[in-house]
Amino acid sequence: MLISFSNRILSQQLPQYTQWAYHQFALNPSHAGIKNCLDIHSLYRMQWLGFEGAPKSGFLTLSAPISGIRKHAYSPRHGVGGKIEIDNIGQFSTNRVNLAYSAHFNFTPDTRLSLGIYGGFVQFSYSPQNTITILPDPTISKEVNFIKPDATFGAWWNGKNYYFGLVLQNLISSKWDPLGTASKFKFHTILNGGYRIATNKNVSVLPAFLIKVPPTGPLATDLNLLFDYQNKIGGGIGYRNTDAILFMLNCKIKQQLSVQYSYDFVLSPMRSGTINTHEISLTFSTCKPQDLSATKCSLFE
Confirm if 247 and 222 have CB atoms less than 8 A apart: no
According to the model, what pLDDT value does residue 70 have?
Answer: 64
Helices (H), the chain: 2-5, 24-27, 138-141
According to the model, what pLDDT value does residue 1 have?
Answer: 46
Which residue range forms the structural domain that includes residue 141? Answer: 27-285
Do the domain assignments include residue 181?
yes
Confirm if 166 and 116 have CB atoms less than 8 A apart: no
Cα–Cα distance for residue pair 290/137, rounded to 1 Å = 63
Do the domain assignments include residue 143?
yes
According to the model, what pLDDT value does residue 211 have?
Answer: 96
Three-state DSSP at 273 gives helix
Do the domain assignments include residue 22?
no
Do the domain assignments include residue 279?
yes
pTM of the model: 0.87
Grade residue 3 by pLDDT with cuts at 50, 70 and 90.
Answer: very low
Tell me which of 207 and 49 has the higher pLDDT: 207
Do the domain assignments include residue 155?
yes
Residue 44 pairs with which residues in a beta bridge?
58, 280
Tell me which of 283 and 297 has the higher pLDDT: 283
Do the domain assignments include residue 3?
no
Tell me which of 286 and 275 has the higher pLDDT: 286
CATH number at residue 69: 2.40.160.40
According to the model, what pLDDT value does residue 58 have?
Answer: 96
Cα–Cα distance for residue pair 16/23, rounded to 1 Å = 12
Grade residue 4 by pLDDT with cuts at 50, 70 and 90.
Answer: very low
The number of folded domains in the chain is 1
